[in-house]
Every structure is written in C-alpha cells, then in structure tokens.
A and B are shown apart, each in its own frame.
Chain A
Amino acid sequence: MIKKILTILSIIFLAALIFTSCLHRDVPEKETQHQNTSSLEETRPEEIPPYKIVEIGGVEYLQSRGETGKPGGTFYSSMIGEGPKTFNYWNSKDATSSSIAGTMFEGLFITDPYSGKVIPRLAKSYSVDKTGKVYTVTLRKGLKWSDDKEITADDVLFTFNTIIKGGYGDTSARDVMLVDGKMPAAEKVDKYTIKFTTPKPFAPFLRMLGFPIAPKHKLEPVTKKGIAEFNQYWGVTTAPKDFVVSGMFKLKEYVPAQRVILEKNPNFAMTDKLNQKLPYLDTYVIYIVGDLNNQILKFEANEIDYLNVRGNQVARFKQKEKASNYKMYNLGAGDGTTFITFNLNRRKNDKGQYYVDPVKQKWFNDINFRRAVDYAIDRDFIVSNILEGVGSPLFTAEGLSSIFLDKELAKGHPRDLNYARELLKKSGFYYDKKGNLYDKEGHLVEFTMLTNAGNTERESVGVMVKEDLKELGMKVNFKPIEFNVLVGKITGAMDWDAIILGLTGSSLEPNNGANVWRSDGTLHMFNLRQGKDALNKADLRPWEAQIDDIFLKGALELDFNKRKAIYDQYQQIAYEQQPFIYLYTPLNIVAIRKHLGNINPTPLGGPVHNLEEIYIK
C-alpha cells in the first residue's frame, strides 16, 4: 500500500515538474536583458583601397590587400543540406551549388566586401557614358582559363548574349537583368573591351556584371545542342578534369553527401605583395552536413575551421573561447528580416467566396489596428529572451545591414500599450469588463496567426507576440504549420489571417526586394494578386501604387544619393502603413580557428570572403 502511494506521489511530482516547465515556456517571465554579447564587439572593417594591378610577364595580376602569408595547407569548411546539385554555375538554382561554383568562376566585377562598392575583378576598369546607358568594360590582359586558353571579350559576349539572353540554365539571371522587358545589349569593341548598352539607365546593372563569365570554348558546343543538353552539362557526375575554371579553385573530388574538395587553380591571376601566387591554400574541403547539430559537432571535433554560431549557442561558445583554438567575431546584423503580416486581401476567389472573412478584412485593413499591433509588440524582450541578446529590434523594410537603410526610421519607437489602446479606440474598438477587444459592430477580435513549424525560434516568437497582443485584448490562435503548407497558403489558397515569417534581404540592392513590394510581385504576400486579379488594379491601395512608382524610379536612378532618397520614401511608407510589422534581425556571429591567417570577416562579405588570401600560420 505504502509503495503504491509512493509511486503515485512520485508520478504526480514528475508530471508537475513537466507541466511547470511547459508553463514557463508559454508565459515567459519578463527579465532584464542579458548581455552575453556585450563582450563581442562588432567587427567594423577599415576601408581598404581596391586591388592594385601589377604586370608580371605580360599578365596583369591583381595584388592582394591582406598581409603576406605562406603557401600550402588545407582549409576545412562545411555546408548544411544535400550538397551541390550541379557545378555548372549558369544552371545553379540553389545557394549551395552557386556558392561552390562561385569559387570556381569569376565575374567581371565583385562587390567589395569592405566598402560595398563595385570593384573590378576579371575587369581592369570601366567607364559609364553621360547617358548612363553605355558601360565600357576593359578586361585584364593575359588572363587564362585553367586549360591555358586566354580569357577574352568573346567569353564575356558568349555569357551575356548566348547563355543569359538565350535562356540557358537558370533563367533568374535574365529576370533580374531585364529592363522594361529588354536585355541589355553586349558588343565587342576589341579583344579586351566590351560595350554594354542598357535600354534605360539601370542602377543595379553594374553589380549584375559580377555574374560569372563562362568559358566559350567549352560551353559553346554544348549550347548548340540545346537547352536540355546544357542543363545536364557539368553536373555532379562530371569528372573533375573536365572542368575549365577562371576562379581560385578547381574541382578535385566530389563525394556525394560527404564532401567537395577543391584545389588551387595555378592560372588564377592574383599575387601577394611578394609576388607569390594566390590562393595560398592548396586545397579547400567543404563537408556536406545534414543539419545544424552535426555542423556544431564537427566544429567541436576540430574537423572544420569555422562555424556560423546561432543565438542560443553564442553564450556557450563565448565561454569556451578563452581555452580554445578559435576566435569569435560579431559581424553585426544580418540581412534577413522577421515580421508579422496581416492578410489585406479584399477580393473573392473563383467560387465567389472571400479569401478573408469580411469582418476580419475590416480590422486588418484598418491602419490603426496594424499600428496598435506594432506598438504592442515588445521587440526588446524578444531579442533578449529568444535570441539571447544576439539580435536587434527591427522597424524598417530595409534590413539593418542595408546600405540604403533609413537610419532615422531604424531607431523605431518604444513599446507603448496605452498608445496602442488609444489607436484602437480611435477606430471604434472597445473593451468588455474582462478586457476582451470588440470592434464597433460588436465582433470579438480573434484571428489565427501561422508560422512554419520546426523553426523553434519563430515558434517562440509567435508565443510572445500572442502574449503581447493578449494585453491589447486580442485573441490570437497561434498555429505553427508545415513550411510547405504555409507557402501553399501564402501563394495559393490565400486564406490566412496573420503570419510570422522571415525573408532574406539584400544589403546592397533594394531592387532585389521588388518581388515583395511591387503590387504585381510574386511575393507581395499581404495583397497577392494572381490570375485575373493581377490585371485588375482597381483595389490597389494608394500607398501600394506609390511603392510601385518608387521601385520603378529607384531602379532607373544611377546616383547613389538620389537613389537612397528614393528608397527612403518607400521605407517611410512601409513604416507608416505597416503591411509588414518587422520584429527583429539576428546578428551574424562566427567562430574561426586561430591558426588561420588573413581572417578579416566583414558584415558584407562574411567570414571567408577573401579565401584567396587565407593561409595556414
């Protein structure tokens, strides 16, 4: 009998323990912000002048900007996922394939990871004429493919006129280069000079010239066989010796689901200040790991040389840093954004039913409602508790790392529940005795908020936002659902109320967000138009039309300061209208082994942007 009672008591005790821990997660206690990143000063790179060009034996080499190192050795990194789908850069649609192929092929220009400016790479120099439409680009002389054929204007022309214009491989390159539906024209002036003409002045164009140049002598015969043949060419089963590259590394070995090994390309035309050829590294090994946990284990087991450290791991890694062989860097805010958005869609679907319940439509389309939500959310609390301090509150449509950020707006505003309640009352919302919120027609304010399940960070953010809005009297049913289902709802069924989601941004080019902001964009999720709705612009809100204009103007303006002024306007409108209520941006924190030299991580380039200069001490 006593034994029985003891068993029951211990079960109750265990159950109580479990329940209390659940409670703790659902209703987080407000505590002061912990400052575990305070010791991690943000890395601010000094501006370094662009590469010098030095001529050695008729070849124009780029001279590196870092300290002088010594050749040899191997650098180990890793990537999460299934590994590359192809080594054909021009056919790569996923980030993994692009980034590996990106070390094998060079473009005419790159974005300087220190300053964000566009600087020459394969190119030696460029000029833009007065109309802003004609770009004349000169190549460096004596550059060679890895099979000793010279890199000339013909390769550039082939890349732009045949591959991109011809619709070979990944057509998104063509999509972003179209100006008014037309591709810029490329003409050969002489063996080393190419003239590009855009239909209109098009600001993002120079950055697009960073697109890797393809070896004409290898790929032209393939393009002649047709698109299908091209899309199979240089796939993952191709023998490494068949590749002809211009970049610092060349494929040595690919073992599916295990690793990619790249080796030094002896024809890479870059030197250090002592005229030693770059890259210093003999081999570059990229492990393919299935998930984040395995990546962390591999770093701890010393198998890989650097790791992007996520929020909840930062404190632990920081603690171990002193006794370890790595150093941590804080690269500042990333370019991703996390936000809540409400469905502003007022249309009906094919069956004549509203996508969104008309009662809810009125709330969501009420600017006071959206602003009240904005003011009710405690961003600092989210950052300190969920990101453990490794992030910043976000208020603007441009990410915090964007060179187009409106810094005034980015300061945001403090949380103010009273103001939020005032805003709601202005629109006729009222409270009952229990503090529940009703609209002026007497409907209880209750809606569903979705996010993708499995992303524990977003799930916790959802719980917090739900609690914050409860204080406003709103009843939020928070439901994490499968990622694919969520995307289906956003882009297809459109039958959602509110969503917490994140998008990757671009720190350098606001026009890359055009698909989100333009009213005809495929990701204009808060008021997505599809099929016949896409043509009917009658229900366009005035501010949506304004943003459409701004994106049109912004792409055509070449002067940075004027462009910035234009994009400031859209941030202003987004801030006032709150189609997306931005929440936070995580910080980029990396841990890198100390035995590596020339490690100069920058917010724009990441930890290993200068791979050619990195050496083993």
Chain B
Amino acid sequence: MSIPLYILKRILQSIPLLILVSIFSFFIIRMSPIDPLSELKLNPAISAATLKAEEQRLGLHLPLYKQYFKWAGSFVRGDFGVTTAGEKVSDKLKERIPNTLLLTIITILFTWVVGIPLGIYAALNWRKPIDRIITVFTSVGMAIPSFFFALLLLVFAVKTGWFPVGGLTSPGFSNMNWFFKILDISHHLFLPVLVLFTLSLASLQRQMRGNLLDVLESDYIKLARAKGLSENTVVYKHALINAINPMITLIGFEFAGLLSGAALTEYVFQYPGLGRLVLEAVLKSDINLVMASLMIGSIMLIAGNLIGDILLKSVDPRVVME
C-alpha cells in the first residue's frame, strides 16, 4: 500500500474512534454532579433571572443528548464554542498551547540529546561501574515524584532568589530586546524543564540501553565481529540502526504527550500552560474547554502514532504497511 493511501485509511479508521472518545468524555463529564453555575448560585447578589439567562446561554436546560449534538455539530464545523465565562475556547487554547509546546519540546529535546548517548554509553560499558552509576542516578530521577521535586525546587527558588517563582516571562518582558527575551524565558523555564527532564531521562536512557544490548547479543552482530569488522563499525553502523527502531515508535507517543504531559509540573510552577487551564476547566465542568482539549489530545495521539509508523517505514524498509 502506498503511503498516501495508507494515511487516508488510517484517518478514516480514526473517525469512529474519535466519535466514541467524544461521546464517552462528554457524558462522563456531564454525568458528574458538577454544576458549572454553582459559584454564581451561591452569590447572594445574583438574581434568579440572571441564573436562568446563564442556563439558557450555556444550553444547560436542554436534555443531555441534545447538548451533545449541539456541541458535536459546532465542533465538526471547527467552532469550539465558548467557555462558561463567555470567552472563545479557541482563544484560550491559542494563548496556552504555544507555552506548553515550548516547555515540552525543550524537555524532549534535552532528554533525547542526553538520554540516547547516555543509553549507548551505558550499553557499551555493560556491567561496568560506570553503567551502574548511570543506572542509579537516572533511577533516582525517575523515582522522585515530579510534584514533590517541583516543590523542592520552588522552595529553593524562594530561599535563594536565583529563580523566579512561576510564570514564563518577567513584567518588563515586552521592553526587552530579543537577546534578553531569550534569557528571560530560559530563566523561567529552567526549573520546570529540570523537573520534567529528570523525570523522563531514566526511561529513555534505559530503553536505549536495553535495545542496544539486545541487538549486540544478536547473531548478525556476532557475525560482523567474527568477520573482523572494527568495533566502531559494528556498533555505530550495524547495531545502532537496528536499536533505534523502537525509539521511533516512542516519538509517536511523545507527540501525543506534548500537550498534556506536564500538567502537574505546570500546576506547581504556575506555568501558563494548557495543563493548568484544563485542570481548572474540569473542576468547573467547563464542557467546551474540556472537550476541545480532550479532542485535540486524542487527535494528536492518533497523528503521533501515524507519524511514528511512517517514520519507521522510511527507516526500516522491512516494515510492511497494511
């Protein structure tokens, strides 16, 4: 099957999946006894007429299935609706998505740049002390709960004053030139990236190490060595290419995690990202906002897998697409 045809097929397959996801998400959120108007209702200054008008505006008086179709209809037309406070959902997402992408992409970049070489190095020094030391360090990073680590760093920032407490930019940001802007953002990003980096470094490094070790054990590597090829050629030309395949699949998954992966860290550091927004939206049962971000998440998961598969195909011609 040619690649464009394959993509088309996968897209068609994903439509019923997305519909199912949307139905489940919508009804589970709506079935929870959370009332988006509860804060208004407990405000002595709000009249019954205002409450009624709000109910009409949000469509809460309609039966559940009608609310769903109303939402689905506008979603298909590309309209994400408004939040309970009346802002456009697309505006809210537009504000936050770039920030979350910035945080996660930088984190992923760092973990890959550090994790892959570290994994290779550990595999080549299998069972030597250096391998053990790397294992211990990365495992400790993986074992510390991210929110706890984030809190510790936050306390550190307050006590030393070396890092800002939360946010992404300083108040004077708009008056800075590009160089100081980059410095300012890096200053704010340092701690959250450090948390996420420590958290995911271990799994990536372990994965790479394991893959490479498996490959190094295989027969064709033994053959290559027996033929008298130099160790460098064996490792970097033959072993590495085969060990990298599973990592490509990982990229697909990470693509899906881009938007949602850092919610907890975002919350602790008060980072202006999507995670914090969606968490608060769920607590308020802000259906349009929650649904939009859930759907985007699902679409990214599907797209990520697809991209992973296609990359895999282009790297490894043995993979057959069906």
Contact = CB atoms under 8 A, between A and B. Distances in A.
Interface of A: 74, 76, 82, 85-86, 91, 93-94, 170-172, 175-176, 231, 235-237, 253, 255-259, 261, 283, 285, 287, 289-290, 294, 297-298, 300-303, 482-485, 487-488, 490-492, 503-505, 512-516, 522-523
Contacts of B50: 170-172, 175
Interface of B: 33-35, 38-51, 53, 85-87, 91-92, 95-96, 154-155, 157-158, 161, 164-169, 171, 173-174, 267, 270, 272-273, 276-277, 280, 285
Given A256-B272, A290-B267, A297-B158, A522 B48 contact: yes
A522 B171 contact: no
A31 B45 CA distance: 40
Select the residue from B40, B87, B157, B277 with max chain A CB neighbours within 10 A.
B87
21 contacts: A91-B86, A171-B47, A171-B53, A172-B45, A255-B173, A256-B272, A257-B96, A258-B168, A258-B169, A259-B167, A298-B166, A303-B165, A482-B33, A483-B38, A484-B34, A487-B35, A487-B41, A490-B41, A503-B44, A512-B45, A515-B46
A522 B45 contact: no
Contacts of B33: 482, 484-485, 488
Contacts of B277: 82, 257
A257 B171 contact: no
A522 B167 contact: no
Select the residue from A74, A285, A516, A523 with max chain B CB neighbours within 10 A.
A523
Given A257-B95, A301-B161, A482-B34, A503 B167 contact: no
Interface majority SS (helix, strand, loop, mixed), chain A: mixed
A538 B226 CA distance: 100
Contacts of A176: 45
Contacts of A74: 171
A535 B87 CA distance: 36
Nearest to A298: B165
A290 B44 contact: no
Contacts of A504: 43-44
A523 B44 contact: yes
Contacts of B272: 255-258
A190 B43 CA distance: 38
A171 B95 contact: no
A301 B157 contact: yes
A370 B277 CA distance: 43
A86 B155 CA distance: 33
Counting from the closest, the 9 A-B pairs by CB-CB distance are A257-B272, A487-B38, A484-B34, A175-B47, A85-B85, A256-B95, A301-B158, A485-B33, A515-B44
Contacts of A171: 47, 49-50, 53
Contact of A522 (B38, B47, B85, B285): B47
Given A171-B50, A175-B49, A485-B33, A522 B41 contact: yes
A555 to B, nearest CB: 14
Contacts of B267: 290
Contacts of B96: 256-257
Contacts of B157: 301
Contact of A487 (B42, B85, B154): B42
Nearest to A94: B85
B45 A515 contact: yes
Contacts of A485: 33-34
Nearest to B41: A491
A341 B170 CA distance: 47
A290 B87 contact: no
Contact of A294 (B35, B166, B273): B166
Contacts of B51: 522
A246 B155 CA distance: 41
A258 B46 contact: no
Contacts of B44: 503-505, 512-516, 523
A492 B49 CA distance: 16
A283 B267 CA distance: 28
Given A487-B42, A523-B42, A290 B35 contact: no
A258 B184 CA distance: 14
B97 to A, nearest CB: 11
B152 to A, nearest CB: 13
Contacts of B280: 82, 290
Contacts of A261: 171
B41 A289 contact: no
A374 B106 CA distance: 59
Contact of B270 (A85, A255, A289): A289
B47 A301 contact: no
Contact of B87 (A236, A297, A491): A236
A56 B13 CA distance: 75
Given A172-B50, A259-B167, A301-B158, 14 more contacts: A74-B171, A76-B171, A171-B47, A236-B87, A253-B174, A257-B277, A258-B272, A297-B154, A297-B155, A297-B166, A302-B161, A484-B34, A488-B38, A492-B35
B87 A85 contact: yes
B46 A522 contact: yes
A197 to B, nearest CB: 23
B276 A290 contact: yes
A237 B91 CA distance: 8
Contacts of B155: 297
B85 A303 contact: no
Nearest to A76: B171
A257 B45 contact: no
Nearest to A255: B169
Nearest to B175: A253
A294 to B, nearest CB: 5
B48 A259 contact: no
Contacts of A256: 92, 95-96, 272
A301 B306 CA distance: 46
Contacts of A484: 33-35, 38, 285
Given A236-B87, A253-B174, A258-B169, A294 B45 contact: no
Contact of B165 (A175, A259, A294, A505): A294
Contacts of B86: 85-86, 91, 231
B206 to A, nearest CB: 30
A172 B39 CA distance: 14
Contacts of B87: 85-86, 235-236
A91 B158 CA distance: 38
Contacts of B161: 301-302
A235 B90 CA distance: 14
A68 B139 CA distance: 61
Nearest to B267: A290
Contacts of A235: 87
A255 B188 CA distance: 15
Contacts of B48: 522
A505 B42 CA distance: 12
